[in-house]
Structure 1
């Protein structure tokens, strides 16, 4: 009798753990979405889903006859309603766990704001927040996701990888994930910045397979500049130079390439940044905050396009000084331009002040944008040239007439 009771007790304990695959989802019943586009259509929201075509990317099925992705669109009052509505045209349920890129159309970002969409995605348990966010410049997000690209079969993967690489080796762009963007929108003393993407070339052929069947494609995607937001609405764009300065101020630059004018002669010297870092500190003078920025830059000489002798320490020091002046100029021009054109703190100076002196920031938080315009900012750069390449002096002086 006791043995029977023990067995029954064991079964009662174990049975709740043996629930099986109650929430399983078969792959052949899912449409895996990698790219999500958000556009404005009248007073409603238009959702564009870039979905993988499994038979076209599978080597076993002999794929390659058609396009590797397809796009489904739906319009509704909210994003999640539109995604559910996609099943009117899609034979499979849209699966959102593998979204790699979220693209907002410029019109939607300007007029509607992006907060509602971001909150819905953060609230949805099936969506991972590590996707990159971009803004489609001068076009709709659906057009960006409709463009077939070479090298990467899946356009969403192309956008993700291109932005990831560009942010690491080219300073005018930066990556922003869903959770980072949400954190920025909710944090005091900082406004969001998102990299833009535009279509270059013949847009009418962007969705055709012929776009990737020639060496020179008819249309291509290009990551370009940074978009500036106030709260959750787009208010403008930074130029390439301003975007560079922004990333130096924020400490986002990893490696890049830039140039300085040759001393005492025409031409330029190109330098490759090996590593860089930005030290940001707030000091209070007579009760007012002063923002101190110091960039440390280690670089090598990439090319010398002038008659300048670099085979001496004096010449190296001269180039280092020019590099320091150039870095300070980039940062100062970016900060002053944002103050003049947009009047919002995208650099996070307010955030630094909040962390340094919360009591002071609480007093000025209500009109921080006005205080940002009057904030004193000091710039400093330290540049070191560690390598001159495999040559010392340029051969330009030895060229025959």
Structure 2
């Protein structure tokens, strides 16, 4: 870890994508909850792999494949250390969505029976809802909604006590909401669920970039995240599974690498995590995810989060008095601010902001049930990262005011 104090100007020089113009305006990128921009170290690691180290892993005996395998497995160890997890519990996936589907189609499909219950919170991303609906249809289990408080955008732990029953087998929850930035009390949730005999799946896609995640202390059964929100490229992510659970789970995809011996009389599968990693993996993605984690480790984490919180406060102060603008479920100190404007469609605001060089997200944010709970059909979401500046926020506030005046 670094001892250097956080300096946003130094950080920004690491991100070449920020130095461009959109509609003849300098880019202000405020959509990092959708995907983060990438630092030079990550970009260069991808280029270096393909230009000088390209080879398949765990196959062949030549020097390039040996080197690629070593780097690929070193990246797995980096992810394990990042989560304080045993390395045998780390499975490479294409991202959080694939990881959640893997759990649903292996652990859940094998273990759920008719009448069993899966508790899913109302604030989940669709990726942490749809796989459970699919496996419920396959097994006869039921998905049980844990409602969100529409005023606070928080989950009520007392409500969980009412939802947990002798039929509860699984509970699925976001560590941090992708819409409002709500940080759920996953530690307390896991404790309650375990006392009821249920296992817990945590979607950490929005959390890993903002806090130190320790799956061992958390006592998580499964924890998933995507690399592209953590300064790594798209198409790579990781699933942490408790090793004792992974050992009991069947494979999901069949093919090369996930086997020990194949014959027409039957197939012997490799031990986990290999049995979940059929085919040629995203080697460059895994290596670059490891590089992104190393890059992040050299940042003053507390300084970065204080910087993000200060920018969120600047943003809130700048827009809270705009006529007809309503901030949705504000979570102070978070990296996101979501809002609606009465009588104005969210996409119209986002379009006008884009014309001023401001990149934000509008829509339902892959969270239809949360939108329904809040009584809205979508909203504008501004998401702040460590590379944003006070000037970014000032320009964003001015652009929102101008858009609202025009509309």
**TM-score of the two chains, using structure 1 as the length reference:** 0.21
**TM-score of the two chains, using structure 2 as the length reference:** 0.20
Structure with bigger RCO (C-alpha 8 Å, 6+ apart): 2
Tell me which structure has the larger Cα radius of gyration.
Answer: 1
